[in-house]
A = this chain, B = another copy of it.
Amino acid sequence: MQRQSDRPPLKVGILGATGTVGQRFITLLSVHPWFTIHALGASSRSIGKPYATAVNWKQVTHMPSAVKDMVVQECKPDAFAECSVVFSGLDADVAGEIESAFRAAELAVFSNAKNFRRDPHVPLVVPLVNPGHLSILEQQKALHSPPLKKGFIVTNANCSTTAHVIPLAALEKKFGPIDALMVTTMQAISGAGYPGVPSLDIIDNVVPYISGEEEKIEWETRKILGGISDVDPEQPVGDKALQQFDMHADTPLKISASCNRVPVTVGHMMNVSVQFSRRPPPSPQQVCEALSSYRPDAQLQGCPSAPLQTITVHEEPDRPQPRMDRAHQDGAGVSVGRVRQCPVFDIKFVVLADNVSIGAATSSIINAEYAILKGIVEG
């Protein structure tokens, strides 16, 4: 499904190229209309080997022929110097140092790792929700020591956070602030990478715990749905006031997340109940319309990887389901169903998102596309 384009292709690099997220980056970028894969970086075990030899390929599509013979590089900026964009699928235990070094070397890093998500100058961007947060990048570059011209880090969110903030953003856009949110997840094993979850732990079973996941959902949701505000006009950064992420501070948002691992290969499912500030709250019908008609800026701006329909609302009582709906639009959108009144809060519904597509690699890629369209990265 090679997409066409008039632009000369931009060279991109992939860090952590042999991992689960890295493989998904390769699958998606090998047919991307704007990008051409230029460099692959991985750990010392793989350096110097052809990619096909270095990787334990675990995608259900076959390996793109373009990368089979590419020699895997060390994760150092030199080999990536020509890359307009560097995507990172690195593990958290190494991502911090490597991504810092790439930024310092004036490279534009779009990372799926969690290391910088809580950094006060790094935007945490779900591209179908808050690409406007990329505006903080000027401050990130200016405050770097030494100040940077082009180097920066953009992160995308945890796969579960991504799934539910998209409908939540659509609802806040239409109906104003949400006050309280209760979410229970049923997450796919692919969310844990490879080898990830041992089969003895999950066949005929559910594990009601994923380390750190509930905290991530509760914290990241506030950063993404919140705005950016000036800290103190008296402390300017260049000619602008120092800014900060306001964490949805104007209307405090209480969130309780409960996370479960289920025997599903791909597709995170969530049961969500929300309480709005607004009285009376919207009806289920109004909620469905708000979700279906949501058009995020990434789509309006023409990001090629943004889905045509951001939120697909199901009317059947038993949908969405991971196996049936995860592949819709190549996993770039989210599916919502069972929108109904909640006897405790206002509205409850079900969300499904492909955790390896919009939940991971696809989000990084749309973030980069948006940055190019906005001139933040030179295209």
Residues of A at under 8 Å CB distance from B? 58, 60-62, 180-182, 184, 186, 189-190, 194-209, 211, 218, 254-256, 258, 260, 262-265, 269, 271, 273, 317-324, 327-328, 337-338, 342-345, 348, 350
Q: How far, in angstroms, from A263 to B344 measured CA to CA in the complex? A: 28
Given contacts A256-B345, A348-B258, contact A199 B208 (CB under 8 A): no
User: Closest chain B residue to A254 by CB distance?
Assistant: B344
Known: A198-B199, A199-B202, A209-B317. 6 other contacts (CB 8 A): A184-B258, A195-B198, A196-B199, A199-B201, A256-B344, A262-B263
Distance (whole angstroms) from the CB of A68 to the closest CB of chain B: 14
Interface pair A321/B203, CB less than 8 Å apart:
no
Residue among A62, A205, A342 facing the most chain B CB atoms (10 A cut-off): A205
Chain B contacts for A182, CB-based, 8 A: 182, 273, 344-345
Chain B contacts for A321, CB-based, 8 A: 205-208
Chain B contacts for A205, CB-based, 8 A: 264, 321-324
- CB < 8 Å neighbour of A58 from B184, B190, B200: B200
Distance (whole angstroms) from the CB of A17 to the closest CB of chain B: 18
- CB < 8 Å neighbour of A198 from B184, B196, B264: B196
Q: How far, in angstroms, from A202 to B189 measured CA to CA in the complex? A: 11
A-B contact pairs, 8 of them (CB 8 A): A60-B323, A186-B206, A189-B200, A198-B198, A204-B263, A208-B269, A208-B320, A254-B344
Chain B contacts for A322, CB-based, 8 A: 204-206
Interface pair A203/B273, CB less than 8 Å apart:
no
Given contacts A186-B262, A348-B256, contact A318 B269 (CB under 8 A): no
- CB < 8 Å neighbour of A199 from B184, B186, B203, B273: B203
- CB < 8 Å neighbour of A318 from B186, B207, B319, B345: B207
Interface pair A260/B256, CB less than 8 Å apart:
no
Chain B contacts for A198, CB-based, 8 A: 194-199
Chain B contacts for A256, CB-based, 8 A: 273, 342-345, 348
Interface pair B209/A265, CB less than 8 Å apart:
no
Interface pair A265/B327, CB less than 8 Å apart:
no
Distance (whole angstroms) from the CB of A190 to the closest CB of chain B: 6
Q: How far, in angstroms, from A209 to B322 measured CA to CA in the complex? A: 13
Interface pair B338/A208, CB less than 8 Å apart:
yes
Interface pair B271/A260, CB less than 8 Å apart:
yes
Q: How far, in angstroms, from A195 to B317 measured CA to CA in the complex? A: 18
Interface pair A263/B203, CB less than 8 Å apart:
yes
Q: How far, in angstroms, from A205 to B263 measured CA to CA in the complex? A: 8
Interface pair A262/B265, CB less than 8 Å apart:
no
Chain B contacts for A62, CB-based, 8 A: 328
Chain B contacts for A344, CB-based, 8 A: 180-182, 254-256
Chain B contacts for A190, CB-based, 8 A: 200
Q: How far, in angstroms, from A24 to B258 measured CA to CA in the complex? A: 33
Q: How far, in angstroms, from A125 to B286 measured CA to CA in the complex? A: 40
Chain B contacts for A260, CB-based, 8 A: 186, 269, 271
Q: How far, in angstroms, from A182 to B348 measured CA to CA in the complex? A: 11
Q: How far, in angstroms, from A92 to B200 measured CA to CA in the complex? A: 21
Distance (whole angstroms) from the CB of A247 to the closest CB of chain B: 14
Interface pair B327/A264, CB less than 8 Å apart:
no
Interface pair B208/A200, CB less than 8 Å apart:
no
Given contacts A218-B343, A343-B218, A343-B256, contact A318 B209 (CB under 8 A): yes
